[in-house]
Chain A
Amino acid sequence: MNQPVLHLDRVDKFYGEIDKGVHAVKNINMEVMPGEIIALLGSSGCGKTSTLRMVAGFESASRGRILINGREVQTLSPVKRNVAMAFEGYSLYPTVSVRDNIAFALKSSTVDATETGRLVEEMAEMLEISAILERFPSSISGGEQQRVSLARALIRQADLYLLDEPMGQLEPQLRTLLRSRLKYYIKSRNLTAILVTHDQTEANALADRIAVMEDGELQQYASPDQIKERPANLFTGTFVGEPPMNVFPARATVVDGSVQFELAGGLALRYPEAEFQESVRQQIIELKEVVLGVRPYAVKRREDGAPAQVMVNQWLGDQTHIAASFADETIVLVEHDRVRLSDGDTIAIHLEPDDLHVFDPVSGRALSHGRSMA
């Protein structure tokens, strides 16, 4: 097994005094392997930027160790860590042209002028900013500034690239185009990158692994598929996925050889015992009060299902989103065909045991995914 490029070992960040100030990052453990692209996903203020800044060395870790290529870097200045960073606020140099902004990232002692020129042109072409190379940062748009900032980070030879929301300002078309170019650039050079994003499509498309953060804690760190199919807890389950996972509080019992989930509004879902592994069944029954989660695309309509009333039916051009009231809550279904349903229509909903995620309502921890243990 080769060495991780980045290893965060029980890293804490407090702004202000330790144990008193703002606890922005809480006991994070994470490894990034060479050639990996990691997406850092999480709501605003959850500590993504703080984490990157600690890795870059602009903030010091309050506790824990940060290792880059096996070397502890807590006491090393940013200059010596050999990481590149695209800043959330761009932070371009206002007094020089876009071209120099990018070229300044290359030290003149290591790369000669013609080579620098060539690299800048290449990078500008890739990020569609060739036309603005001679302009100054104050006279270009936000999206252009963002790409200049990204170019400035990517042009360097670094062990690790920290990209803080590098494409947040771009329209979907350009974002999609640049996303694939960025991925090709990183993968073809076997670079290692951590990318903060609010866009789940971007995270899924680019990342080998996704790190989901909330409230300073790392909730789950796994491949996009894993996160989708086996969310570690209620937060990851509901945060990742569009539209979000449907969740219902339920009371689990065993009646006449069936596992029964009693939902609000007098509804009950009943499955033959054999549908669940012995251990899963035991846990569920033992806990009794659980939270059921089901992805919108896994919600089926079937004649013998439980009743729900359609509230909204939206055709998005390639899929239908139906919101229906179900067990005193709202359930969302995604179907791929155009569905003729009007508000108030009754539909019958069926949830396959395979598609059920069962969570502990208190800790939020996942107990089971489908038939197997979490």
Chain B
Amino acid sequence: MSPVERVLRGLAITLVILFFMFPILWILLMSFQTNETILRVPPSMVFEPTLINYRSLITGKLQTAAGSLEIQFMRNLWNSLLLSTSSVAVGLLLGVPAAYAFARLKFRGSEDIAFTLLSFRFAPPLLVLLPLTIYFQQIGLANTYIGLIWVYQLIVLPLILWIVRGYFEDIPADVEYAYRIAGHSWFATFRKIALPLAKPGIAAAGLLAFIFAWNNFIFALVLASADKQPVTVGALAFVTASGIQYGQIAAGIVLSIAPTFALAIYAQRYLVEGLSLGAVKG
């Protein structure tokens, strides 16, 4: 590569990064400013950084022009964490064995069942939600963590099932036969041979499912009241009677994307590997 080419390429990459990162950077900057400095005309990059937004989020006291307001941001953050983690845990527990069954046992109707599970992803969530709300109220699951985790399976389970199933299908049957023929049970084969081989796929599916669950808005909006709501819904509280609290929203966004962001960076390797390579490499 000639020096000119290298410079051009560097420039292009910088532009792309700037384009995609700018909103995030801007939000990061906003989170350290008060509403006044954010809204001044013309906007400027120069300001006196303040931690007031973060402080009010963490203490739960929102300062508006109309006075002090109680918010439950930390509670929401905790809810998000709890809901996403438990949903993914339940999803993996149910989805991975199911994926194995779909991959290995070709029983009658298995394709149809697998597809039906996937089709939950195409259905508009509201279509599912309206009847569900009524059922949940009748059986006492409305506004409970268990009920929410259950509904979250609609997001998590198909994702895990389909990604992990592909992984299990990629494992040559003979590798499992080799273990089976030595007198090992079906379950031992699943645990000792199939699971370790599908690990990258399971990790990738789990991560994606976590991010999807974390970003979900509509289920919790309808089914949960304030004390059970995740950040995605809780952020609505920043739209107050006396205007929108841009600074606090920005700080809230920063805090709420931090876990998924950190997770994605940490697991980037697994994600790329898990989603692009087969289970058994040549």
Contact = CB atoms under 8 A, between A and B. Distances in A.
Interface of A: 56-58, 77-79, 81-85, 87, 89, 91-96, 104-107, 138, 149, 152, 156
A79 B189 CA distance: 11
A291 B43 CA distance: 100
- Most chain B Cβ neighbours within 10 Å, of A57, A92, A93: A93
Interface in B169-224: 172-175, 177-185, 192-193, 196-197, 199
B181 A93 contact: no
Contacts of B181: 56-57, 78-79, 81, 83-85
Nearest to B178: A91
Given A79-B184, A79-B185, A91-B174, 13 more contacts: A77-B180, A78-B177, A79-B183, A85-B177, A85-B178, A91-B172, A93-B193, A94-B280, A95-B196, A95-B199, A104-B182, A107-B183, A107-B184
A96 to B, nearest CB: 8
B281 interface: yes
A185 B27 CA distance: 73
Contact of A92 (B173, B175, B177): B175
Q: Which secondary structure characterizes the binding site on chain B? A: helix
Nearest to B171: A94
Q: Size band of the B side of the interface?
A: 20 to 34
Contacts, number: 62
20 contacts: A56-B177, A57-B181, A58-B173, A78-B177, A78-B180, A79-B184, A81-B181, A84-B182, A85-B178, A87-B178, A91-B177, A92-B175, A92-B178, A93-B175, A93-B193, A104-B192, A105-B182, A106-B182, A107-B184, A138-B281
B155 to A, nearest CB: 30
Contacts of A104: 179, 182, 184, 192
Contacts of B193: 93, 95
Interface in B152-181: 172-175, 177-181
A314 to B, nearest CB: 39
Contacts of A83: 181
A58 B192 contact: no
Contacts of B175: 91-94
Contacts of A57: 181
Contacts of A56: 177, 181
A355 B26 CA distance: 95
Contacts of A94: 175, 197, 280-281
A273 to B, nearest CB: 59
A183 B265 CA distance: 56
Nearest to B192: A104
B174 A87 contact: yes
A115 to B, nearest CB: 16
A185 B148 CA distance: 63
B174 A156 contact: no
A105 B193 CA distance: 12
B169 to A, nearest CB: 16
**3 closest A-B pairs (Cβ-Cβ)?**
A91-B174, A95-B196, A105-B182
